[in-house]
Amino acid sequence: MMSKRILILLSILAIAITVVVGQAKKSTPKSAVAAPDKAYLQKIWDDWSTLNPDNAAAYYASGSHTFFDIAPLKYSSWDEYNNGVKTIVAGYKSARFTLNDDVAIHPEGDLAWATATVAEEMTTKAGKVEMGNFRWTVIFENQDGKWKIVHEHVSAPLQ
């Protein structure tokens, strides 16, 4: 009689564990689209290197999202970011942005976040070459099979 009760309790426990594990798997869906990789991230910076934000627009989600940049400080949508950056890059004739070797990408279902430092070399229209490194933290969301940036933070260390 006691072994029958133990068998019933073990069966109930096994069913409960199966249900809990099944629910956990359902709550963290994995994207069918491969997460962004270093090449994808570099492509974003290659498009920024053209100094035309319209070339990078395809990577950014539309709507109300926050993007922090070196200057002025904060943009509340891609449209605002696009327009603001155009005035900043207007003073430059060329740019090159290269991801350093510290890229870290963290996929989690339909979201992914990445961090990196980026080497920059920009030449002003007056011919002055500016070089340095800045920090980049970016959050992507899989929207209709495309990884779109929904938050970005670019900052430079104090000189």
pTM over 0.85: no
Give the DSSP letter of residue 31.
P
Q: For the segment 95-132, what is each residue's pLDDT rounded down to a tens digit?
A: 999 999 999 999 999 999 999 999 999 999 999 999 99
Structure tokens at 90: 């207007």
Angle, CA 116 vertex, CA 52 and CA 99 arms, to 5°:
55
Give the DSSP letter of residue 60.
B
Structure tokens at 39: 């090449």
Residue 28 pLDDT greater than 50, yes or no: no
Phi first, then psi, for residue 74 (nearest 5°) are -145, 140
Task: Tell me the average pLDDT across 21-35.
Answer: 60
Positive or negative: CA dihedral 76, 77, 80, 81: positive
Checking DSSP bridges between strand 64-68 and strand 129-143, what pairing results, if any? Answer: unpaired
Q: How confident is the model at residue 23 (pLDDT cuts 50, 70, 90)?
A: low
Whether 99 and 42 have beta carbons less than 8 Å apart is answered as yes
Cis peptide before 53, with omega less than 30 degrees from 0? Answer: no
Structure tokens at 95: 């740019």
